[in-house]
Amino acid sequence: MKRLHLYILSSFLGPFVLTFFIVMFILLMQFLWKYIDELVGKGLEWDVIAELLLYASAGLVPLALPLAIMLASLMAFGNLGEHYELTALKAAGISLMRMMLPLTVLIVLLSIGAFYFSNHVLPLANLKTGSLLFDVSRKRPELSIKPGIFNKDVEGYSIRVLSKNEQTGMMFGFTLYDHSTSLGNRVRMDADSAVMDFSEDGRFMFLTLYDGYRDEELGENQRGPARRFPHRRDYFREQRIVLALTGFDFNKTDESLFRRNYQMLNLGQLQYAIDSLAEQIADREDRFVVGLLRLRYFKSEVKPVGLDSSRTDSLSPPALVAHSPPTPTGRGIDLDSLYRTFSDVRKEKVMNMALNYARTTMEEIERMVVEMDGRQKSRSRHAIEWHRKFTLSFACFIFFFIGAPLGAIIRKGGLGVPVVVSVLFFVLYYVISLTGDKFGREDILSPFWGMWASSFLLFPVGAFLTYKAATDSNLMSLEAYGDFFKRLFKRWRRAEPEEPRGPDLASLFGEEAPRA
């Protein structure tokens, strides 16, 4: 039995290592394609790029590991079925669950390792990747210039372009504001087009402007009513400007600036952040309600006329006594009757004050709703990341119990059918996970259901496939489905009513029917 277990383990480990690195390579190419604009043409050293790819690879493990497990398990048991080894083992009295036992133990160990990876390694990898991408984006500012948006990466200057040719680097509708003298935007340059270049050491930016003009305000030349604001405009066909670049050398940013992000926290830190945010939300709501009741709802600045000081001091809040008649003890007051005793001017003043209080209160409530919504979404993001630490481990377990029995049913090895089936299941899982993540961030679903929805939906699929494979079901047999539809068609034919016939003459006359 030990030889059998070792043989099954060797059949799994080879495809697992191969598929894991293939999936990692594909995902890493996707990462490079996403950030290619941030990396190309910035003169980065090879060790910086290698470090970035290393940390990015660590962040892609949660996507690659479950897919590699399902693909390897499907290939391993598909090869056993394709070479009739699975049939021979079942004929020898070895059940499918017993054959899956060594791999089940291995998957449990991998799931535990995946949890520790998510809790300890993944936050550090996200921290390193985020800080490196931030440093890379600051090294050269030319690629960060977006059409229609003012860019202030170059200290002392604001640059805006209307459009940009990504292939040639030519910028159109170029505008530059020079406020390096700390006297405001006194110098403005407009050009039909412009080209940006840099010195070899990266310390200077060269701007070549075409078909434009330069506006400059020369400052006030007099004081008092006779002061003037002289202005000069120079036109040019081509002009070259040299700007000194400071702060764009590749220097690593202090990573402590990013440590409070929810993606850079481990399980204990996330739980602490979730509890702290919950306490802050509850405390802020309590203080807001108390302040609203004290300063808005029960606020009174107009002293009632015709009441003595003892009754005035004992008045109840208006919201509680607005329609209550006077009591024998004098502790109640009919505010409607009191309002009717006011003059028209005083009534208008009271109504304006009430409307102002109501509008101010509504504005405060709206600001409070926006603030609480932001705090709650921040808490939901931390809770989603907390659950993500566990969903990776559970996904490894689920995908194994989908891939192994599916391979035993399909009985096809190699990289053909297993790859197609694995990708379909993984895409389904990934789409459900992204949808749940989105709903959890927007508070449409709770973080628990948002993160665990994909696992709960695919777990019954794994259990069903395992049961079908253990009972030698013809789940993937086209002949079985053909026989099923044939039997169904025969039953439908038998249940179809017969066409009505004419009268039976023999039974009608009790003898042979007369001939015509």
Answer whether 388's CB lies under 8 Å from 440's CB: no
pTM: 0.61
What's the pLDDT at 243? 79
Exposure string for 140-161, b = 16+ CB within 10 A, e = fewer: bbbbebeeeeeeebbeebbbbb
140 pLDDT exceeds 50? yes
What's the pLDDT at 364? 84
Three-state secondary structure call for residue 182: coil
What's the pLDDT at 501? 56
What's the pLDDT at 64? 87
- Alpha-carbon gap, residue 26 to 35, rounded angstroms: 15
Three-state secondary structure call for residue 488: helix
- Please list the alpha-helical segments (H only) found in 117-178: 122-139
What's the pLDDT at 306? 43
Mean pLDDT for the stretch of residues 137-157:
69
Mean pLDDT for the stretch of residues 62-91:
85
- Alpha-carbon gap, residue 349 to 339, rounded angstroms: 11
314 pLDDT exceeds 50? no
Mean pLDDT for the stretch of residues 467-494:
68
What's the pLDDT at 191? 92
Name the pLDDT band for 100 (thresholds 50, 70, 90): confident
More confident residue, 511 or 355: 355
Residues 6+ apart with CB under 8 A from 256: none
Answer whether 288's CB lies under 8 Å from 371's CB: no
pLDDT tens readout for residues 1-48: 678 888 888 888 888 998 899 888 888 888 878 776 666 655 566 777
Token pair listed for 208: 């070549």
Name the pLDDT band for 446 (thresholds 50, 70, 90): confident
Name the pLDDT band for 358 (thresholds 50, 70, 90): confident
pLDDT tens readout for residues 362-405: 888 888 888 888 888 888 888 888 988 888 888 888 889 888 88
Residues 6+ apart with CB under 8 A from 283: none
